[in-house]
Amino acid sequence: MMVCEYKPGLEGIPAAQSSISYVDGQKGILEYRGIRIEELAEKSTFLETAYLLIWGELPSQQELEAFEHEVLHHRRIKYRIRDMMKCFPESGHPMDALQASAAALGLFYSLRDLHNPAYIRDSVVRLIATIPTMVAAFQLMRKGNDPVRPRDDLGYSANFLYMLNEQEPDPLMARIFDICLILQVEHTMNASTFSARVTASTLTDPYAVVASAVGTLGGPLHGGANEEVIQMLDKIGSVENVRPYIEDCLQRKSKIMGFGHRVYKVKDPRATILQKLAEQLFEKFGYDKSYDIAQEMERVVEEKLGGKGIYPNVDFYSGLVYRKMGIPTDLFTPIFAIARVAGWLAHWKEQLAENRIFRPTQVYNGYHEVPYLPIDQR
Ligand code: ACO
């Protein structure tokens, strides 16, 4: 058996062969199925991009309409799921609520007909359609309100914002939200996608796959960073405080949230697009002084850490965009999950097509032949 060097965090070790997305971390390029992210952000919609990722090609007009129609008609959640969510503590994190609710879907759709394209499509549609409803329902129920029913006359993103805020969103806001979902839908072999593929490789159901990926996305080193960015900007409070804050972080060797990436050694192309979207929102709906703080942070971090390839990642500006939309901070990561579910499902489908269960090895560095010591002698 070939002996490989142990790489913490599996850095540089391919975990799968995939044709879903591609990153060039030196040039700052991200492509979905070969199409540049900038082009999709300008011309596509979230549902069209989801279709592209999952089925490998851009849909025809007819295919897109059929997919949109199916998603539209699967947005409602069962009252039992809603009642289960009502029992969750209001103080619980919405990511935990989402993970539990996604897993609970598996109780209702327990058939695992993994070789049947109709089962795969049905699961894809159900998950993409219901995850936003579950996120919005938990948000309203934790405030003591009844959840709002989805509205059939609204598109995917507009409907989510409607269910969340109980009012129809401005069309620019809905479009910007949709672009944010496009930017967050997929990103090669990141931690949550790896988690999804490992779970998928056991041939369990897609609800367990998504629940496992949601759990992984929630951590502050992954999707949870966007929440921490906003808390950090608020804590810094003014442009003058930026430099001392960063110098203090560096001295304490603590990570500056929203900066750095395992793959990108230049500014994340998604951060560049999100920054422009934030500017559009500020222009129409009023300025956020945290943006000045963010820009100064970018300048100072580049000066101090640019040599190490540390630049803003996707999470740095997404929080500012979501906050301007009136979205509570602890929903930023669930929104990331609303987008990323389509990426996870694309990987689920790809994993099933050529499956082998994940079973890596380890480098054992413990003892051998240790005698059992009776309890009274320890
Ligand atoms: N602030 C300060 N220094 C940093 C940062 C940062 N945000 N990120 C990396 N570095 C430094 C490290 O201290 C290390 O320096 P050293 O070589 O002198 O010890 C070097 O850069 C390499 O850092 P690692 O932690 O080894 O890089 P890794 O690839 O393991 O981690 C990660 C990548 C987790 C994203 C890291 O950059 C980080 O923790 N960033 C902050 C959290 C964050 O924004 N996460 C969101 C990532 S995007 C996403 O998941 C959607």
- Contact 34 CB / ligand 1 (< 6 Å): no
Closest residue by CA, ligand 1 atom 37: 260
- What pLDDT, on the 0 to 100 scale, is given for residue 220? 86
Q: Which tokens in the block code for residue 280?
A: 């559009």
- Strands of the sheet with 29-32, listed across from one edge: 21-24, 29-32, 35-36
Q: Cα separation of 157 and 318, whole Å?
A: 16
Closest residue by CA, ligand 1 atom 15: 308
Q: Do residues 23 and 36 touch, judged by C-beta distance below 8 A?
A: no
- Contact 181 CB / ligand 1 (< 6 Å): no
- What pLDDT, on the 0 to 100 scale, is given for residue 2? 64
Separation of 57 CA from ligand 1 center, angstroms? 34
Closest residue by CA, ligand 1 atom 26: 262
Identify the band that residue 341 occupies on the pLDDT scale cut at 50, 70 and 90. Answer: very high
Query: Which of 352, 362, 232, 355 is CA-nearest to residue 298?
Result: 232
- Contact 265 CB / ligand 1 (< 6 Å): no
Separation of 273 CA from ligand 1 center, angstroms? 21
Separation of 261 CA from ligand 1 center, angstroms? 6
Mean pLDDT of 333-345: 97
- Contact 343 CB / ligand 1 (< 6 Å): no
**With a cut of 0.85, is the ipTM above it?**
yes
Torsion over CA: 94, 95, 98, 104 (sign): negative
Closest residue by CA, ligand 1 atom 35: 261
- Contact 74 CB / ligand 1 (< 6 Å): no
Residues in the chain: 378
Separation of 307 CA from ligand 1 center, angstroms? 13
Q: Cα separation of 251 and 277, whole Å?
A: 33
Average confidence score pLDDT of the chain: 95
Q: Cα separation of 181 and 47, whole Å?
A: 9
pLDDT at 358 over 90: yes
- Contact 317 CB / ligand 1 (< 6 Å): no
Q: What are the backbone angles phi and psi of residue 156, rounded to the nearest 5°? A: -55, -55
Separation of 306 CA from ligand 1 center, angstroms? 12
- pLDDT tens digits, one per residue of 152-199: 999 999 999 999 999 999 999 999 999 999 999 999 999 999 999 999
- What pLDDT, on the 0 to 100 scale, is given for residue 336? 96
In DSSP terms, 259 is beta-bridged to 312
CA distances from 17 to 22, 128, 185, 189, 217 (A): 11, 24, 19, 10, 22
3-state secondary structure of 64: helix
Helix locations, the chain, DSSP H: 37-43, 46-55, 61-72, 79-86, 94-108, 117-142, 156-165, 171-184, 191-200, 206-217, 225-236, 242-251, 269-285, 290-305, 314-324, 332-353
Atom of ligand 1 nearest to the CA of 191: 50
- Contact 262 CB / ligand 1 (< 6 Å): yes
Residue type, 56: G
Residue type, 22: Y
Task: List the catalytic residues.
Answer: 261, 315
Q: Cα separation of 169 and 71, whole Å?
A: 20
Atom of ligand 1 nearest to the CA of 259: 7
- What pLDDT, on the 0 to 100 scale, is given for residue 91? 96
- Contact 223 CB / ligand 1 (< 6 Å): yes
Atom of ligand 1 nearest to the CA of 190: 50
Closest residue by CA, ligand 1 atom 36: 260
- pLDDT tens digits, one per residue of 88-138: 999 999 999 999 999 999 999 877 899 899 999 999 999 999 999 999 999
Q: What percent of the chain has pLDDT over 70?
A: 99
Closest residue by CA, ligand 1 atom 27: 262
Atom of ligand 1 nearest to the CA of 313: 48
- What pLDDT, on the 0 to 100 scale, is given for residue 1? 59
- What pLDDT, on the 0 to 100 scale, is given for residue 5? 86
Separation of 310 CA from ligand 1 center, angstroms? 8
Mean pLDDT of 333-342: 97
- What pLDDT, on the 0 to 100 scale, is given for residue 168? 96
Separation of 257 CA from ligand 1 center, angstroms? 9
CA distances from 338 to 2, 157, 223 (A): 40, 10, 12
Q: pTM score, two decimals?
A: 0.94
